[in-house]
Structure 1
Amino acid sequence: MSLEDRIKENTQALNELREVIKQALAMTPPAMIPAPATAPAPVAEPAAKEPEIKNEAPAPEPKPVDLKALRISLAPKIKTLYSKDMNLGKRLLDKFGVKNLSALSDDQLPGFAQEIDRALQGD
């Protein structure tokens, strides 16, 4: 590989990093917005049956993910990953088929967050 090719690769990587940093700096921290309260659905009770006693504890309901806050929290993580190992950051974005954080779809965010946490922990 020639010196010109390496310079071209490094220039491209720096431009991509600059774009990620610019996007991260343009983001604002999430405002503390309380989750909307939902009214429980009315339950129809059977008239002739006795209530059943269950020994099992009810399964906890999954908490909804605040995608905006998750996206904002990923910006410093991707910066840290890029400063730690630029190629690893690039490979992680490539794995999700995107060039930068803002191109991730809402469906991809939780998986990307798990992957970036693993990468930062050194797995």
Structure 2
Amino acid sequence: MSSFGYSGTNAHVVMSEELDTEEPHPSNPSYLIALSARNRKQLEVQVKNILSFIEQRPDISITNVSYTLMIGRKQFRNRLAVIVKDLSELTIELTKWLEETKVIELKLVMVIQHL
């Protein structure tokens, strides 16, 4: 497509159909999923957000999830890291971590109440 202006200004645009550029990622035996937050509550929110995202997009690549969480993220004091083979294992491990966190908090509350 071309446009020629009266004052000598010309504009040209080349348009074509988008090519499928997504290449299959090589399969790795395991993937590191690392999270960090300023405090434990924020870490729990991140875990819940990732679980929700996986539930909404079960076709997402574990490679992409791992890469995105590792690159461009600021590291904070509270951290959680798991090594998994696939999304289903990631879901299991994160859910298990959330459940264990609730049990630990419940035990803390019970100890504080007994003092």
| Fold equivalence (TM over 0.5) | no
TM-score for both structures, normalised by structure 2: 0.26
TM-score, normalization by structure 1: 0.25
Q: Which structure: greater strand fraction?
A: 2
